[in-house]
A and B are shown apart, each in its own frame.
Chain A
Amino acid sequence: MKLLDRFFAGDRAALSRVITLLENDRARRSDILDRLYPRSGKARRIGITGPPGSGKSTLADRLTARLLQHGRTVGIIAVDPTSPFTGGALLGDRLRMQGSWDDPRVFMRSLADRNHTGGLSEATPHAMTALDAFGTDVIIVETVGVGQSTLDVSDVSDTTVVLLTPESGDSIQAMKAGLMEIADVLVVNKSDREGADRFASELKMIVDMGRWEEGWKPSVLSASARDDTGIDDLYERLGAHGDYLAGEGRLQARRLRQGRSAIEKALAELWQGRLTALRESGDAMDRLSERVARRELTPLAAAREMMEEAAD
């Protein structure tokens, strides 16, 4: 049986294999996605992001347990960083998710970011498409530990959960500019630690001062994923956000915006491919760099010329 036939018959090993091909095999990626994409779009997609060590994996594990109690199937994509020096990666999120991935209704995949910026790996949206087309009810995507400007997760999620800890306090001004803006729900994890209450009220103040989409102001929840407290509140807020999105075509609007951003990324990827080919073919680069060195041509004009050639 061919791989995608096994996939559509519900074979989990085939799902796993498909994700690998989407990650590694650029030549066949688009053929596979042609088959999967039309069947995706039904899953509820929840992004979890936050600084390193804030407890994202543990929270994902607890949330998964709640989803299972409510009869949902769950797919988890957990992204960890690749070393820029060796290309290797240690993917340890399973360690923190011992409670859930062993259940036959859960499929969890660890992905290395392969030095892609933005907090997710390049193949993460494709892996989510695979889980979605496979019929998974809820997809949880967990980013690498992030700070500012690693906000890709909001491009692939219906609801983005930003996880902070009381220790995140000092960087709160910085987070106002990035991480805070993508949050649909804010969670102060490790709420048993000193300063947690004060931190949560500071966050609430910032949320109150901010400008938010009409009808939805991010709530600030306190939780301790380790002790499994506050998770029911989170589950309830996620449900409320789902209801909010369902109203007045909001989900549709969000997905339109995400579609736009996905096209932009694909466009950039295609351009990048052509430019790389052009650069590696050497001719244009050799010819133009000589002219730039002789001051006959500005670097910008040379780049423009290369781009025109790449477009042909």
Chain B
Amino acid sequence: MEQAIMAENIRVLVAKPGLDGHDRGAKVVAAALRDAGMEVIYTGLRQTPEMIVEAAVQEDVDVVALSVLSGAHMTIFPRVMELLRERGVQHMLLTGGGIIPTSDAEELAEIGVGKLFGPGTSTRDIIAYIKEEVGHRRVADEI
């Protein structure tokens, strides 16, 4: 039943929630994922959790990647996770990056949030992580 996961079929939503205008990190990651053969939907700045999840549903992505630099990660990630569950798309991998203390990342992992990457992370690590995770998260639908 399980089909082979090819990189060019992996779809990732890259979004920048909140009000801070620093989107350089998000753009670098978006370009790196594209160059790794993924289809990247970039929604830009100032997205609310509701907008992010709506876009994720419409685009049927495998991964929702958020860049949070504002310090609001403990509200944004749980809220997005909650909305993903509400919409029945909790199979999507929620991951991201920013300045996030280890203890916060651990707490978020407990509610189902994936790995969060700090400044200076190699994009190669992010790509490897996404490929690995998507491989066993895809759901097979009965039509």
Contacts and interface: CB of A to CB of B under 8 A. Distances in A.
Contact of B8 (A12, A17, A82): A82
Given A16-B57, A32-B143, A90 B3 contact: no
Interface stretch (B40-48, B101-109, B116-124): B40-48
B36 interface: yes
Given A13-B87, A101-B58, A107-B58, A89 B40 contact: yes
Interface in A72-108: 82-83, 86-92, 94-95, 98, 101-102, 107-108
A94 B44 contact: yes
Interface in B32-55: 33-44, 50-51, 54-55
A240 to B, nearest CB: 31
Contacts of A13: 57, 60, 87-89
B31 interface: yes
B57 A12 contact: yes
| B contacts with A: majority SS | mixed
Please tell me the size bucket of the interface on A: 35 or more
Interface stretch (A41-49, A109-117, A174-182, A275-283): A109-117
B70 interface: no
A16 B59 contact: yes
A28 interface: yes
A256 interface: no
B34 A86 contact: yes
Nearest to A20: B60
A21 B36 contact: no
Nearest to A27: B3
A221 interface: no
A31 interface: yes
Nearest to A112: B39
A74 B54 CA distance: 15
Contact of A17 (B35, B54, B60): B60
Given A28-B143, A108-B58, A94 B88 contact: no
| A contacts with B: majority SS | mixed
Contacts of B141: 2-3, 17, 21
A305 interface: no
A19 interface: yes
B55 A94 contact: yes
A10 to B, nearest CB: 14
Given A17-B141, A21-B141, A102 B39 contact: no
Contact of A87 (B8, B50, B88): B8
A19 B50 CA distance: 22
Nearest to B45: A95
A28 B140 CA distance: 12
Interface in A3-42: 3-4, 12-13, 16-17, 19-21, 24-25, 28, 31-32
A31 B143 contact: yes
B30 interface: yes
Interface in B16-42: 30-31, 33-42
B40 A90 contact: yes
A71 to B, nearest CB: 21
Given A86-B37, A87-B37, A2 B30 contact: no
A3 B60 contact: no
B34 A12 contact: no
Contacts of A91: 39-42, 59
A15 to B, nearest CB: 9
B142 interface: yes
Contact of A16 (B40, B58, B143): B58
Nearest to A85: B35
A21 B8 CA distance: 14
Given A12-B57, A28-B143, A92 B3 contact: no
A86 B9 CA distance: 12
Interface of A: 2-4, 12-13, 16-17, 19-21, 24-25, 28, 31-32, 82-83, 86-92, 94-95, 98, 101-102, 107-110, 112, 114
20 contacts: A2-B142, A3-B143, A13-B57, A16-B58, A32-B143, A82-B8, A86-B34, A86-B35, A87-B6, A88-B8, A88-B34, A89-B34, A90-B34, A90-B42, A91-B42, A91-B59, A94-B43, A94-B55, A108-B58, A112-B39
